[in-house]
Chain A
Amino acid sequence: MAMLQVENVHTFYGTIEALKGVSLTVEEGEIVTLIGSNGAGKTTTLRTIAGVSHARAGSVALDGEDITNTPANDIVRLGIAHSPEGRRIFAGMTVRENLEMGAFTRTDRTEVDSDYQRVFDLFPRLKERILQRAGTLSGGEQQMLAIGRALMARPKILLLDEPSMGLAPVLVELVFKIIQDINAQGTTVLLVEQNAHMALSIARRGYVIQTGRIVLSDSAQALAKNEMVRKAYLGEA
């Protein structure tokens, strides 16, 4: 049984149908990527899984348990953490407080402390800026904080929405390297990217979404070789 199972999900914004029957699965331990151009429905897919948008039809299940209509604040307790598009860190709070918010649901103090250590090992820059207001961080640091904050929930599965957006190329490399590290430490990852090249290079499997529908799914290697993917998402003529 897949860890995360999204089945025939239809999600609306008012009368706009952003997802027109999306299905995908993520197995424990995988990095799965969802690629697609702007407006295809990637963010909406992650929002539906995280419980901030709710599917009008179809279902989402985590470890076999239906979470289609579970509110967001309960979903994080079940093991899904979301680093959203645009980072959305709490700009008026310190780096430390942002990470604390990430661990809001947890009561295992010693384990939480070891997770701070883990986040600071992954992102030494955050440790240097621990008492700084998050709004004063650079874009790259804010991205690291958003990922670190999500990790503080110690999720089974981490949803990452365009973590490379707006970052300088070296930082993009670093962020993708860290995603691999996080995965190697045992966290399952569902990664949304417009940077299909990088995403396919670290993922095991991938899905291609177009105007609210999954149009392709395959191993990352096969997708990277796929004619249509190369033309539309890898910028090859």
Chain B
Amino acid sequence: MPCGGARIDLFLAAIVIGITNGAFIALIALGYTLVYGIIELINFSHGDLFMLGTFACLTTLTLLGFATEVGIGGTPWWALLAAMLLAMAFCGTLNVLAERIAYRPLRKAPRLAPLISAIGVSFIYVNLGLLWQGPTPRRFPDLLPQYDFVSQMFGLETLVRFTFKDLFVLGLAIPLMLALAWVIRNTRMGKAMRAVAQDSEMASQMGIDVNRVISFTFLLGGILAGAAGLMYGLYNNNTVFTLGFDAGLKAFTAAVLGGIGNVSGAALGGFVLGLLSAIVITFLGGQWDSVGVFSLLVIILVFKPTGLLGQGASD
């Protein structure tokens, strides 16, 4: 039984882990919420798109000669940048194609049809992942500087760690989210997105090409999933073709928690879920993680289906 001081240490350590994990979850949750906000589709394949994003990064780094960190002096920033941009382009394009091929033809069909189509796309992604990197977990090279601010900069001896990896993830994820918010708030396309989300028929009467706006929305969601792929890989140093299920479940729960369709809600929900999950894993054990997430999802759906910030307030 740890004494009181250690428990607080443990708690703070869980908070840091939770915030960092929350950042990935938030980026993926945004992909769910953007799409839901605009066409009321739960894009079940989105978690698996993120998985493919980690694979795209891994393949890029391998091709550039950084399959492992062995023998590498410093961090190859240019290679990381190349991997991220490629994964963003790859996931963005794939998401746009999925909408064109699998969802758009069903837009006027009953709501269950595109949902089932999304589950089909999810299967395709998972099997593509299996084909691409095989059935066993793959090591993702540990290329970021090894540095813990808490012990090495401040000389504190605690269980709490805030490493360069945490800084890297937050320093990338938060600006990306702010950029997304800026695009939605200020650009012509962002305003068109909000108009389509509120009343797509009326938006078309403004001269807005609704199909283009929907494609753009899938592009944004895919880009964020691709970026999350690099962050996840460098933070956890592994990936596997089944990664998308767990990530998708958490991100979807986060989106519902924040209020599905609500962009700020998805970001908030991501961080809240990351924290809850880290606390559950720290104090109850990893086996309780999915149980906790599922329970939370059920509780929200029963007691507050509109989420923390309200549904579909698309700004």
Binding site for B on A (CB under 8 A): 50-52, 71-77, 81-82, 84, 88, 90-93, 97, 100-102, 104-105, 149, 153
Contacts and interface: CB of A to CB of B under 8 A. Distances in A.
B296 to A, nearest CB: 27
B43 interface: no
Given A84-B205, A91-B198, A101-B208, 18 more contacts: A51-B205, A52-B205, A72-B201, A72-B204, A73-B208, A81-B205, A84-B202, A88-B202, A90-B194, A90-B202, A92-B194, A93-B191, A102-B206, A104-B192, A105-B206, A105-B207, A153-B206, A153-B207
B207 A97 contact: no
- Please give me the 4 A-B residue pairs with the lowest Cβ-Cβ distance, nearest first: A105-B207, A72-B204, A76-B207, A104-B206
Contact of B313 (A51, A74, A92): A92
Size class of the B contact interface (CB-based, 8 Å) = 20 to 34
Nearest to B203: A101
Contacts of A104: 188, 192, 206-208
B199 interface: yes
A92 B202 contact: no
B89 interface: no
Contacts of B9: none
Interface in B183-221: 188, 191-192, 194-195, 198-199, 201-210
Residues of B contacting A: mostly = helix
B290 to A, nearest CB: 35
A60 B220 CA distance: 38
A52 B198 contact: no
A74 B205 CA distance: 8
Contact of A72 (B192, B205, B313): B205
Nearest to A101: B206
Interface string B66-87: 0000000000000000000000
Nearest to B202: A88
A101 B191 contact: yes
B185 to A, nearest CB: 10
A84 B202 CA distance: 9
Contact of B206 (A76, A91, A92): A76
B205 A50 contact: yes
B209 A73 contact: yes
Contacts of A76: 205-207
A84 B205 CA distance: 10
Nearest to A106: B207
Contact of A73 (B194, B210, B314, B315): B210
A100 B191 contact: yes
Contacts of B206: 73, 76, 101-102, 104-105, 149, 153
Contacts of A105: 206-207
A72 B206 CA distance: 8
Contacts of B203: 101
A73 B192 contact: no
- Indicate the member of A52, A88, A93, A104 with the most B CB atoms within 10 Å: A104
Nearest to B192: A104
Contacts of B210: 73
Contacts of B199: 88, 90
Contact of A52 (B188, B204, B315): B204
B201 A52 contact: yes
Nearest to B194: A93
B251 to A, nearest CB: 24
A162 to B, nearest CB: 16
27 contacts: A51-B205, A52-B201, A52-B205, A72-B201, A73-B205, A73-B207, A73-B209, A76-B207, A81-B205, A82-B205, A84-B202, A88-B199, A88-B202, A90-B198, A90-B199, A92-B313, A92-B315, A93-B191, A93-B195, A93-B198, A97-B194, A101-B191, A101-B192, A102-B206, A105-B207, A149-B206, A153-B207
A56 B296 CA distance: 50
A101 B195 contact: yes
Nearest to B201: A52
Nearest to A150: B205
Contacts of A149: 206
